Amino acid sequence: MFILQGVSYTHPDRDMLFADLNVAINKHDKIALIGNNGAGKSTLLKLMAGILEPTSGMVQTDHTPYYVPQHFGQFNKMSIAEALGIDIKINALYEILGGHATSEQMDILADDWDIEERYKQAFAHWGLSKLNLKQLMGSLSGGQKTKVFLAGIDIHQPKIVLLDEPSNHLDVESRNLLYNYISKTNQTLVVVSHDRKLLNLLHTVYELSRSCIKIYGGNYEFYVIQKDLENEAMSQDLKSKEKALRKAREIEREALERQQKLDARGKKKQEKAGVPTIFMNTLKNNAEKSTSKMKDVHAEKIEAIKDDVGRLRRGIAETGKMKIGFEHSGTYKGKTLVSLSNINFKYDITHLWDFELSLDIRNGDRIVIKGNNGSGKSTLIKLILGELAPDLGKIDKASFKAIVLDQDYSLINDNLSIYEQAQQFNTSGLLEHEVKLRLNRFLFAQANWHKSCSSLSGGERMRLALCGLTMNAIAPDMIVLDEPTNNLDIHNLEILTAAITEYKGTLILVSHDTYFLDELKPYFTIDLSP
């Protein structure tokens, strides 16, 4: 069981991430921890894992949790055994079996006589049998690193497991192994993920913000329904508050006009009655005080309503603001852009595929390229774009404009500021104020325009790239999406999905996110798996 009591965390730069969180997680709970980028999900997992200490409050657990991180760079110089924390026990086992047993080695091994068998079974399950425990983590691919730590769950057999974006870098086969584990395990799980298929396997959703954790008693689809209901209620409340604000301003104006008329009428009567000047000044001061007091009363009411309006506006999802509005590319629907005839490719002496590939790609097609890691998906994209030439067969390519959006959104120049990058995208000659309007529409406030693109999160890079597409003089005939969802939170995933759904040109997608692909139907699939 986990108990978080009054937990707050402040970054070393004194920026408070969240405050006074109170949570209880029970045995066998399966929790999805979600929230926008920057909400502190990964930090909260590290607090629960004991890697970080809270600024204030207390984290209690009755078992040591097993933690699978999102990033693995800190392990690159370690061996696989060291990264998994089993190197000392494995060495002790081999010393004992080699006839060099000592009491110290017996104490180290304790009851873990089957640790070699457990690690071999776990590695075989995750397709890692060819790896050696002495290999450096830095020599592994991103998917292999993730699977090494997932295999560690079976090796260590913990009661509590904390997973930070565990499906990142995994191919479809490995994702299915992960989904099967999550469905069947009795371990207590807390999972940070943007993988909505995975989130639907978890029983409860915890939504993290700076001020609290909101709990939704159901899976991700249940959460979406509840959030839609909340947003609808907030929209209605917002309309009501905006109407109340207009009414309050109208009442204030009418009251002030009425007071001014009364003051003017009273002054005329006093002048006709010959009231002494000194008394007239007293009456004037009293009238001004009365008017000022009335203004303060109305201003206080209006300010309170304005605060409510601002709070409600901030709470409502802003996805609808970001309309791409692609201009027509000028290429007619159905035109053949690329024709591949019996092609294959080889890097050394062996061809990449055990078949020859033929395909016509027409304007308006939606194509998903599937295959396990190393099956040649990225190579096929380079062949389609003309960046590589086939070793077998022929490729005929029409003249067309293509944009590639990869998982790092690398068309963003890290040496530029947000505003400079927007102006570089502006090939359609938009005026300065129009560029600024586009930036605002894509949730880039003026205070951040000077910010370096190198400091942007995955979601921010994606939004800036989409913003740039709206400022191109000619819309691309083809958009290639190469694992575009890996570094996005759910809110930004929804933004990307809405934008791409609107696009009418040719789409080529490489993604292991089946939930994302299902939302972009209809499409046809090229499967490069052997």
What SS3 state is found at 76?
Answer: coil
What's the pLDDT score for residue 67? Answer: 96
CATH topology for the 336-527 domain:
Rossmann fold (3.40.50)
Q: What six digits make up the tokens of 263?
A: 């003051």
Q: Give the burial string for 502-511 (b: 16+ CB within 10 Å, else e).
A: ebebbbbbbb
Strands (E), 165-251: 188-192, 204-208, 213-216
Q: For residues 449 and 485, is the Cβ–Cβ distance under 8 A?
A: no
Closest to 498 (Cα-Cα) out of 472, 473, 516: 516
Q: For residues 143 and 178, is the Cβ–Cβ distance under 8 A?
A: no
CA distances 335 to 211, 329, 393, Å, are: 53, 12, 22
| Domain spanning 2-223, CATH architecture | 3-Layer(aba) Sandwich (3.40)
Q: What six digits make up the tokens of 338?
A: 């690329």
Sheet (strand 366-370) strand order? 402-406, 478-482, 506-510, 366-370, 524-527
CA distances 51 to 163, 167, 313, 384, Å, are: 14, 22, 36, 45
Phi and psi for 245 in degrees, rounded to 5?
Answer: -65, -45
Q: For residues 425 and 474, is the Cβ–Cβ distance under 8 A?
A: no
Tokens 């325009």 sit on residue = 449
Q: For residues 413 and 421, is the Cβ–Cβ distance under 8 A?
A: yes
C-alpha 505/C-alpha 499 separation (Å) is 12
Q: For residues 329 and 477, is the Cβ–Cβ distance under 8 A?
A: yes
Spell out the SS3 assignment of 393-419.
EEEEECCCCEEEEECCCCCCCCCCEHH
Phi and psi for 529 in degrees, rounded to 5?
Answer: -65, 145
Tokens 């260590």 sit on residue = 156
Q: Which amino acid is at 115?
A: I
What's the pLDDT score for residue 129? Answer: 93
Q: Is 464 left (phi over 0), alpha (psi -120 to 50) or beta?
A: alpha
Q: Which amino acid is at 36?
A: N
Q: For residues 301 and 247, is the Cβ–Cβ distance under 8 A?
A: no
C-alpha 501/C-alpha 352 separation (Å) is 32
Q: For residues 476 and 399, is the Cβ–Cβ distance under 8 A?
A: no
C-alpha 434/C-alpha 325 separation (Å) is 14
C-alpha 145/C-alpha 475 separation (Å) is 39
**Helix H or strand E segment including 225:** helix 220-272
- Listed as own residue / partner, the contacts of 233-237 with beta carbons closer than 8 Å and 24 or more positions apart are 234/312, 234/315, 234/316, 235/316, 237/312
What's the pLDDT score for residue 263? Answer: 60
C-alpha 523/C-alpha 530 separation (Å) is 21
Q: What six digits make up the tokens of 150?
A: 């997932």
What SS3 state is found at 159?
Answer: coil
DSSP 356: -
List per-residue pLDDT tens for the chain, 530 residues long: 789 999 999 887 777 888 899 999 999 999 999 987 778 898 999 999 999 999 999 999 989 999 999 888 889 999 999 999 999 988 888 888 888 888 888 888 888 889 899 999 999 999 999 999 999 999 988 889 999 999 999 999 999 999 999 998 888 889 999 999 999 999 999 999 989 999 999 999 999 987 789 999 999 999 988 888 877 777 777 777 677 777 777 776 776 767 666 666 655 555 555 555 554 555 455 555 555 665 666 666 667 766 766 665 655 555 445 555 555 555 567 789 999 999 999 888 888 898 999 999 998 899 999 887 778 888 999 999 999 999 999 999 998 889 898 877 888 999 999 999 999 999 888 899 999 988 988 888 898 899 999 888 777 888 898 888 888 777 788 999 888 887 777 877 887 888 788 788 899 998 888 888 888 877 888 888 77
**Helix H or strand E segment including 17:** strand 16-25
C-alpha 169/C-alpha 140 separation (Å) is 12
Q: What is the longest distance spanned by two Cα atoms in the chain? A: 121
Q: For residues 425 and 438, is the Cβ–Cβ distance under 8 A?
A: no
